[in-house]
Amino acid sequence: MPIGSIILIHVFSFFMISAVSKLISYKAFLQFVVNFHLFPRRISLIIGSLIPYVELMGAALLLLEPTRSKGAIILLSLLTMFSYAVTQVLRSKRRITCGCYGRLIDATVDRFTIGKIVYFFLVTIIIGFIKPLQNAEISALTIVIGTSLSFLVFVLQIMWQRYRETLDRLRKIK
């Protein structure tokens, strides 16, 4: 089983779907970025307007072996910046939607968000910089399995959100 190819398609498809969902709900995504309160509104809008395009570029660069490490560096940079933003929100104890998937999924900034960041940071390092995995061969099987893994992450995100919402409702009842 070509595990490197599956991981490659998984990371590629996750970031492509994430970027496209941000572009589909572009104005809402920009407001999500502003809600982090890291920069003045104007700077947040400029940064937010670039994020989906940089994410698309990073994901696309992963597909070709000569540009794979550059794509990984771009995505790792985005993940690093996002982890900083998330930790700032968690420290402030504010509850906001991260905008990770635009309006596709209402994902709250929380521990699950940190877990996703760590997970995608590690798998991006693996596909971008571990040489035996750099020669990934894309096939129908790797596309199906890799994309299925990405959809599994989305399903887990939805399940986590439902769990959090249920807990919140139960706490209000008490």
For residue range 55-92, list pLDDT tens digits in order. 999 999 999 889 999 999 999 999 999 999 999 999 99
Which residues make Cβ contacts (< 8 Å) with residue 66, sequence separation at least 6? Answer: none
Query: What are the backbone dihedrals phi and psi of residue 57, each rounded to the nearest 5 degrees, phi first?
Result: -65, -45
% of residues, the chain, pLDDT over 70: 96
Give yes or no for residue 27 having a pLDDT over 90. Answer: yes
Lowest mean pLDDT among 3-7, 31-35, 39-43, 130-134: 130-134
Question: CB count, 10 Å around CB of 32?
Answer: 23
Element (H, E) at 155: helix 140-173
Question: What is the pLDDT, as a whole number, of residue 122?
Answer: 95
Give yes or no for residue 166 having a pLDDT over 70. Answer: yes
Question: What is the pLDDT, as a whole number, of residue 1?
Answer: 56
Give yes or no for residue 136 having a pLDDT over 80. Answer: no
Q: Give the pLDDT band (50/70/90) at residue 135.
A: low
Q: Domain span at residue 134?
A: 3-173
Question: CB count, 10 Å around CB of 88?
Answer: 14
Q: Give the pLDDT band (50/70/90) at residue 103.
A: confident
Q: Give the pLDDT band (50/70/90) at residue 106.
A: confident
Distance from C-alpha of 115 to C-alpha of 16, rounded to nearest angstrom = 19
Average pLDDT over residues 115-133: 88
Average pLDDT over residues 108-136: 86
- Residue 62 identity (one-letter amino acid): L
Distance from C-alpha of 152 to C-alpha of 149, rounded to nearest angstrom = 5
Question: What is the pLDDT, as a whole number, of residue 129?
Answer: 86
Distance from C-alpha of 106 to C-alpha of 109, rounded to nearest angstrom = 10
Separation of first and last alpha carbons in the chain:
51
Distance from C-alpha of 23 to C-alpha of 109, rounded to nearest angstrom = 20
- Rounded to a whole number of angstroms, the CA Rg of the chain reads 17
Please count the structural domains in the chain.
1
Q: pTM for this structure?
A: 0.90
Distance from C-alpha of 94 to C-alpha of 173, rounded to nearest angstrom = 22
